[in-house]
Every structure is written in structure tokens, then in C-alpha cells.
């Protein structure tokens, strides 16, 4: 009897601690978002009328080569990163083998889906890319979805997306270089050396088009939503403007109609662009790696090594 009681108390205590950590992790998810909204309310003046402006600059850090401006999009992308980190910790908190909880199933589903996606698009050799692709999907998707709570979406700033695209470009170049720099330079002279300049241009165009695609899609959605909201305001003031007093200010058409557009531009387009960015990353990186040449090279090196060994052994 005594033992059972003690055990119960112990399990109660551990359950209490589990819940406390859970609440802390949830606070870690929600607090950065709240802080983002607070920063926006406190430091950024509300625009008057329609205004298509970039990210607001909070302050500039003086550096030898020009100042480094800290903008709204940088702050918001760090907010999204911290929030996503705590989300991951919350989902994986308390996972144990053979105990199936809802969270464990969600985590399993995410891992399984991304691993399948990477395996089917990149092949066995790149199986280790799954966490990177998953992180990219989450960061891009959550950044675009952060418009839903009124934050400035970091993906509608070219600087942020260009950073990701440059990262992908470095990966592509790394995998092209894997067979040696000579092979890499030779690949520009395909199929005829005359086309080398065009090949260089198309190589450079890859990150540019990736960055512009993502940023242009999110930004165009924001611009169109803004234009529609302004047009609806004008329409409702045209229809109801003649009425006296407070009746003239009723936002008749602004209610509901922009939300329909928001479903497409913010939710669907944001998630689709995240998926497309990750997909293009996978296709470019796996397409840049000449796996047959790499294997042949490796085998040749192996044979050479063995030959050298036998020669040395003979001596």
C-alpha cells in the first residue's frame, strides 16, 4: 500500500513537471509572436492611405563598410525561427518508444513525409538532406503565414529570400565541385565550348530566379490585397457616404471580401511557394551532382591506392 502511494505521488510530481515544461514550451512558441506584434504596434507608425513600402528600418549598426540596417524583416524572421524552434521542442517533448501520443504521431508524420519526399526526388545518396529540406519548408512556410497575425512577412523582402537562394547556390556549386575543379570548369563547355558564356549566365540566373520567384509571389499577393482593400473602402464610402453621421462610416464591403483573397494569397500561395522553393532546391542540388562520374572516380582512386600498396609491399 505504502509503495503504491509513493509511486503515485512520484508520478503525480513528474506529471506536474511535464505539464510545467509543456506550458513553458508553448509560451516559447507564442511569446515571440506577441513580441513581434508589440514591436510593430510600438515602433512602426501606421500608414496613411495606401502605401506600398518595404520593411521598416529600426536602427542601423555602424560598420566600416557602410551601416548594417536592422529591418523589420530580419527581426520577424528571427521571431519565426525562435517560434519554430520551440514548436519542434513542444512536439517532441516526452516522446518515448512504443508510447503513441498525438504529438509523437504528428512528429512522425512530418519526418516520414519529408524523408519520402527527399528520397523520391533526390535519391539514396542525398537521404541526409531531409532535415535541411524540412527546415527550409518550415521556415519559408511559417514566414509567409506570419502575415495572418499582422506581422510583416519576411519572405516579401528580397534580402531574406536572396540569402536562402545564395545558400542553395553554394550547395549546388559544392556538389558540382565534388568531382574536382577541372570537371566543374569542363561542365561549362557542354555541349560545345561556344556556349560557355550562356552556361555561365544560366548558372548565375538560378539563384536570382529562385529568389525573385518566392519574393515576387508573396509581394504581389500583399500588393493586390492592399489595392483591393483600398478599392473596397472607396466603394463603401461611395455607396454609404451620403448617409449622415456614423452610418456613413460603416465598412460595408471591407467585411469578409478581403478574407477570401487572403485564403489564396496568404495561406495557399505561401505554402505553395515554400513547397516549390524546397522542391527546386532538391532538384537543383541532386541534378548538379554527377553521381556516375563521382563513383567512377572513386573506384579509380581505390584501384590506384591498392596498386600503390601492392607495389610498396613488393618492395
Partner 1 sequence: MLELAIGIILGCCALGAGAAMIAGIGPGIGEGNAVAKACEAIGRQPESIGPVRTTMLMGCAVAETTGLYALVIAILLLTWAPGHLVDVFMSAIG
The residues binding partner 1 (CB under 8 A) are 52-53, 209, 212-213, 215-217, 219-220, 223, 272-273, 275-276, 279-280
The residue (of 126 and 277) whose beta carbon lies closer to partner 1 is: 277
Q: How far is the CB of 224 from partner 1 (least distance, A)?
A: 10
Q: How far is the CB of 213 from partner 1 (least distance, A)?
A: 5
Q: How far is the CB of 209 from partner 1 (least distance, A)?
A: 5
- Asked if residues 206 and 172 have their Cβ atoms less than 8 Å apart, the reply is yes
C-alpha cell at 172: 549546388
Q: How far is the CB of 223 from partner 1 (least distance, A)?
A: 7
Q: How far is the CB of 269 from partner 1 (least distance, A)?
A: 11
CA of residue 283 relative to chain centroid, distance: 17
- 35-51 b/e with 16+ CB inside 10 Å = b? ebeebbeeeeeeeeeee
- Asked if residues 207 and 162 have their Cβ atoms less than 8 Å apart, the reply is yes
The residue (of 90 and 215) whose beta carbon lies closer to partner 1 is: 215
Q: Cα dihedral sign for 220, 221, 224, 227?
A: negative
The residue (of 39 and 223) whose beta carbon lies closer to partner 1 is: 223
The residue (of 216 and 290) whose beta carbon lies closer to partner 1 is: 216
How far is the CA of 153 from the CAs of 58, 173, 184, 212, 293, in angstroms?
16, 29, 37, 15, 42
The residue (of 111 and 223) whose beta carbon lies closer to partner 1 is: 223
C-alpha cell at 33: 509572436
Amino acid at each position: 500500500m505504502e509503495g503504491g502511494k509513493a509511486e503515485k505521488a512520484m508520478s503525480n510530481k513528474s506529471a506536474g513537471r511535464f505539464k510545467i515544461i509543456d506550458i513553458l514550451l508553448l509560451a516559447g512558441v507564442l511569446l515571440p509572436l506577441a513580441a513581434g506584434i508589440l514591436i510593430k504596434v510600438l515602433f512602426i507608425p501606421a500608414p496613411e492611405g495606401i502605401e506600398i513600402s518595404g520593411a521598416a528600418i529600426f536602427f542601423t549598426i555602424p560598420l566600416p563598410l557602410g551601416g548594417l540596417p536592422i529591418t523589420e524583416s530580419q527581426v520577424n524572421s528571427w521571431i519565426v525561427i525562435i517560434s519554430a524552434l520551440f514548436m519542434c521542442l513542444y512536439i517532441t517533448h516526452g516522446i518515448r518508444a512504443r508510447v503513441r501520443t498525438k504529438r509523437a504521431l504528428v512528429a512522425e508524420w512530418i519526418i516520414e513525409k519529408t524523408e519520402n519526399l527527399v528520397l523520391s526526388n533526390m535519391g539514396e545518396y542525398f537521404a541526409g538532406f531531409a532535415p535541411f529540406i524540412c527546415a527550409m519548408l518550415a521556415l519559408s512556410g511559417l514566414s509567409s503565414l506570419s502575415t495572418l497575425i499582422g506581422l510583416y512577412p519576411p519572405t516579401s523582402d528580397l534580402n531574406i529570400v536572396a540569402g536562402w537562394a545564395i545558400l542553395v547556390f553554394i550547395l549546388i556549386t559544392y556538389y558540382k565541385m565534388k568531382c574536382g575543379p577541372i570537371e566543374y570548369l569542363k561542365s561549362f563547355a557542354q555541349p560545345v565550348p561556344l556556349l560557355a558564356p550562356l552556361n555561365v549566365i544560366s548558372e548565375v540566373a538560378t539563384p536570382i530566379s529562385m529568389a525573385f520567384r518566392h519574393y515576387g509571389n508573396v509581394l504581389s499577393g500583399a500588393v493586390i490585397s492592399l489595392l483591393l482593400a483600398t478599392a473596397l473602402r472607396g466603394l463603401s464610402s461611395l455607396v454609404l457616404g451620403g448617409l449622415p453621421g456614423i452610418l456613413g462610416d460603416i465598412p460595408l464591403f471591407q467585411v469578409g471580401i478581403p478574407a477570401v483573397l487572403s485564403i489564396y494569397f496568404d495561406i495557399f500561395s505561401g505554402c505553395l511557394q515554400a513547397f516549390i522553393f524546397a522542391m527546386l532546391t532538391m532538384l537543383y542540388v541532386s541534378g548538379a551532382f554527377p553521381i556516375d562520374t563521382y563513383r567512377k572516380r572513386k573506384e579509380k582512386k581505390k584501384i590506384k591506392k591498392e596498386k600503390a600498396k601492392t607495389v610498396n609491399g613488393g618492395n
